[in-house]
Amino acid sequence: MAVEHEVSVLNAVRKIKTMRRLAIPNEEQFVFCHGCVSEYLSSFDVYANFSEKTGNI
């Protein structure tokens, strides 16, 4: 994930559930995990510190 900046949340959850059956028990928890991963990946955005209003960093 840190290298390619993409991940399959569904496959990651499936792997976790094979080891811990009760982990991520419902859709709400799955959506939360997906949101966390999305936020983490967006933190690597090259232009994350660029201000659109002023055009300055």
pLDDT digits (tens, 9 = 90+) for 19-32: 999 999 999 999 99
pTM of the model: 0.64
CB 41 within 8 A of CB 1: yes
Band the pLDDT of 45: cuts 50, 70, 90. Answer: low
Q: Domains in the chain: how many in total? A: 1
Band the pLDDT of 50: cuts 50, 70, 90. Answer: low
CB 28 within 8 A of CB 36: no
Rounded Cα–Cα distance for residues 2 and 20 (Å): 24
- Say which amino acid occupies 5: H
Residue 23 DSSP class: S
Q: What is the mean pLDDT of the chain?
A: 80
Provide the domain limits for residue 25: 1-57
CB 10 within 8 A of CB 34: no
Token reading at 48: 């994350």
